[in-house]
Structure 1
């Protein structure tokens, strides 16, 4: 299946999830994330500001803040590039052209200072293959990132094997947390 059609199918499946099922699955994913080695050994966590379709990242942000972890959120710029900025009270967020809240001020954090990136996506395999949203921002960023990566996959996002073409430049996530 073509990536565009598969993305549309996954988005439709996510949109069709009942609020109860979504909430139940999300709670299980959060608990498993917060119990993971990657989470418990990290001091600086990078996480996207989620959209309505995606798994809500606000509980992850709040848990990180409560655990005194430094929280970073992405800011994109031309050339499909991205950087992570600390999410502080001084940071102002605005909605980007992609409908995602991004910081418009604040200084980027160097990659080597980021312990864990919670990588978003639409489709995942247990082996770490990831179908993103099509911009390539995370693949570019992760190409020379040496910290830990984890993704959280609702049932509607999980595939035994990739149903999309995996290219050489597609970067696998180290751990995919799934509903069990």
Structure 2
């Protein structure tokens, strides 16, 4: 007789489930609920960096749990303590000693929480990733189980389970799209990102794939990013409550007319013009450089040689009067490093406007721990995404 893909431990009616993210949790939680096991989500992932990335993933996990009506527990975020825990293992390869120590640290805290709350079993969604070693995860769980064992009270048991079985991997991908979960291309650890995305072509490929995965969310995400961008522009352009109202004089903003795979800032560009600011847009010349053209109404755009809309307004050369530059990109990191499309247009242009505030604009999943940098690459002052 063929054995079931997933075996429920004896007497397991509830489980403290360590969750690394909403996408990895989704199919597992659904299976548990459908099979009479009540999960409580424990979100403890101090390995995730930067803090902004951690908060996005945490909020997605909480949204998932609240949508299902299940309990969700927020573990403390202490990235410094996690760094101390993996100290000396920074250069280990993926599936090496650093990963196993990371699993052990996170699952030991899960075991402690399970014991505190009286759970008989604890488990982890880490075992759903094909990029992780099941053997390492099981060893880490058993070490965590032994670490919290004591004679004065019952200790929780680690439910070592391969959550890739039973069609759960395929179901995960379906639920990711159905729930429009935020989904990143690395586990969260800055060392993993550096080892896995240490070339620009690879990172560009990862970002293109990420855009495909978030295709149904892009319109919503664009609106959220534009709201943040408007708030930042308000701080720079005016002290009035209205994000774009002039006070006391109009400013000059270099923006961009969004491509289909970029944050759609077109409504914001038009609002800036309506409020009397000078808006200039880049136009590519001879495949090497950009020039600026004034933008007023959308009629100032015409289809270019690549079937993309380009500005056709009057030429703008007063670079020293530009107050803000909005910069698109494939990826940005916390230091302001930017990954472009590989042509170098902005890297050549941005040094011409040293007085301007450079603001990178991207979707949240385009913010990564580290962007590969070459000597000629130019950084932005801040990133909105």
Pick the TM interval, shorter chain. Answer: 0.7 to 0.9
Seen in structure 2, the aligned counterparts of structure 1 residues 100 and 40 have a Cα distance that, compared at 3 Å, is farther
**How far does residue 15 in structure 1 lie from its aligned partner after superposition?**
2.8
Asked whether 1:149 is paired with 2:149, we answer no
**How far does residue 44 in structure 1 lie from its aligned partner after superposition?**
1.1
Q: CA RMSD in A?
A: 2.2
Seen in structure 2, the aligned counterparts of structure 1 residues 50 and 158 have a Cα distance that, compared at 3 Å, is same
Asked whether 1:161 is paired with 2:370, we answer yes
**Larger RCO: Structure 1 or Structure 2 (Cα < 8 Å, ≥ 6 residues apart)?**
1
**How far does residue 170 in structure 1 lie from its aligned partner after superposition?**
0.6
Decide whether the 8 Å contact of 2:291 with 2:315 is kept in 1. no
Larger radius of gyration: 2
**Deviating more after overlay: 96-105 vs 106-115:** 96-105
Q: Report what 1:25 is aligned to.
A: 221
**How far does residue 134 in structure 1 lie from its aligned partner after superposition?**
0.8
1:130 aligned residue (316, 338, 347)? 338
What are the within-5 Å matches in structure 2 for residues 68-87 of structure 1? Answer: 68-78=276-286, 80-87=288-295
Q: How many Å separate the matches in 2 of 1:149 and 1:15?
A: 27
Q: Report what 1:175 is aligned to.
A: 382
TM-score, scaled relative to structure 1: 0.85
Query: Hey, which of these two has a bigger chunk of strand by percent?
Result: 1
Q: How many Å separate the matches in 1 of 2:353 and 2:338?
A: 16
TM-score, scaled relative to structure 2: 0.42
**How far does residue 89 in structure 1 lie from its aligned partner after superposition?**
4.2
What are the within-5 Å matches in structure 2 for residues 4-153 of structure 1? Answer: 4-19=201-216, 21-36=217-232, 37-40=235-238, 43-78=251-286, 80-89=288-297, 92-146=300-354, 147-153=356-362
Q: Which runs of 5+ in 1 are unaligned?
A: none
- Tell me how many residue pairs correspond in the alignment: 175
Q: How many Å separate the matches in 2 of 1:98 and 1:150?
A: 26
Seen in structure 2, the aligned counterparts of structure 1 residues 104 and 124 have a Cα distance that, compared at 3 Å, is same
Q: Which runs of 5+ in 2 are unaligned?
A: 1-197, 240-249
**Deviating more after overlay: 101-110 vs 42-51:** 101-110
Seen in structure 2, the aligned counterparts of structure 1 residues 76 and 53 have a Cα distance that, compared at 3 Å, is same
**How far does residue 84 in structure 1 lie from its aligned partner after superposition?**
1.3
**How far does residue 140 in structure 1 lie from its aligned partner after superposition?**
0.4
DSSP 3-state at the match of 2:281: strand
Q: How many Å separate the matches in 2 of 1:160 and 1:83?
A: 32
